[in-house]
Structure 1
Amino acid sequence: MSNSVITAITELDQSRYKTKVFSDGHLVYADEPESLGGTNEGMTPGALLLASLGSCTAITIRMYADRKEIPLETIKVDLAICKEEEMSKETTITRKIEFTGDITQEQRERLMVIADKCPIHKLLTNPIKITTT
C-alpha cells in the first residue's frame, strides 16, 4: 500500500442499494442481492472487504516473490467470512492460499508467512477505531 492517505467516497441515491464507490479515479459498485431488495449489480460490502484482503494478500506475495526471484506462477486466495449472526466480539475470516509454479516447500512456507504481512491483513487483525461526523 502507498504511504499516502487512502480515501473513498460512496454515494447512494434513491436506486435502492446500488452504491457508487469512488477512489483515486476508479469506480466500482456495491449492492445487495435481489433477495434483500438490491439489484445485484455489484459486490456486497462484505465481498468487497474480502476482495480487499485477497487482492492485498496476492499483491504482497507477488511483490516478495518477484523481488526474491521465486518462480511463482499464480496465486489464488479463497476467502469466506462468517455469517452476520455469528459475528460478535470476534469475526472469523477464513483464507486459503494456493500457489502454482516450480517452488520449493521452503519457499511455499515463506510465502505463507509473507501473506500475513499484507497491510490489509495487519489492519484487520488490529483494533479499528471508526470516527463518524
Structure 2
Amino acid sequence: MSTSQITAITELDRSQYKTKIYAGGHFIYADEPESIGGSDEGMNPGALLLASLGSCTAITIRMYADRKGYALDGIKISLAICDEKDMNKETVITRKIELLGTISTEERERLMQIADKCPIHKILTNPIKIETT
C-alpha cells in the first residue's frame, strides 16, 4: 500500500443505489442486487471490502515471495463475510488462501504468516474510528 494518504470520493445521484467511486485516478461502480432495488452494475459494498482484503493479501504475499525468490506461481484467495444480522456480536470474515507452485513447507508457512501483515488486514483487525462531518 502507498505511504501517502489514501482517499476516495463516492457519489450517488437519484439512480437508486449505483454509486460512483473515484480513487487514485481510477473509477468503479458499487451497486446492490436487483432483488433489493439496485441495478447490479457493480459489486456491493461488502464484496468491495472483501476484494480489498483479498487483493491486499495477495499483493503482500507476492511482494514477499518475489523478494525471497520463492517459486510461487499463483495465489488464490476466497473470502466470505458473516450475515449482517450476526455482526452485532462480532464480524467474522473467513479467508482461504491457496498458494500455487513448488514451494517448501517452510516457505508456505512463512507466506501464511506474511498474509496477516497486509495493510488492509491490519486496518480490519484493529479498532477503527470513523469521524464524520
Q: Compute the displacement of 1:109 (Å).
A: 0.4
Matches within 5 A, 1:46-125: 46-125=46-125
Query: What CA distance in whole angstroms lies between the structure 2 residues aligned with 1:38 and 1:2?
Result: 33
The structure 1 segments of at least 4 consecutive aligned residues displaced by more than 4 Å after TM superposition are: none
Q: Structure 2 CA distance, aligned partners of 1:88 and 1:132?
A: 21
Who is 1:29 aligned against? 29
Q: Matched residue of 1:122: which SS?
A: helix
Give aligned-pair identity as a percent. Answer: 74
* TM-score normalized with structure 1 length: 0.99
Displacement of 1:88 in angstroms is 1.3
The DSSP-based 3-state class of the residue aligned with 1:111 is: helix
- The RMSD of aligned alpha carbons is 0.5
In 2: Cα distance, 1:88 partner to 1:63 partner: 36
Q: Secondary structure at the match of 1:57?
A: helix
Count of residues in Structure 1 that have an aligned counterpart in Structure 2: 133
Matched residue type, 1:9: I
1:89 shift after superposition: 3.9
Compute the TM-score of the two structures, normalised by the length of structure 2: 0.99
Per-residue CA deviation, residues 62-118 of structure 1 (Å, 9 max, x unaligned), is 000000000000000100000000101410000000011000111000000000000
Q: Which amino acid aligns with 1:25?
A: G
Unaligned runs of 5+ in 1: none
Deviations 1:1-36 (A, max 9, x none): 111000000000000000000001100100000001
The alignment partner of 2:56 has SS state of helix
Structure 2: which 5+ runs fail to align?
Answer: none
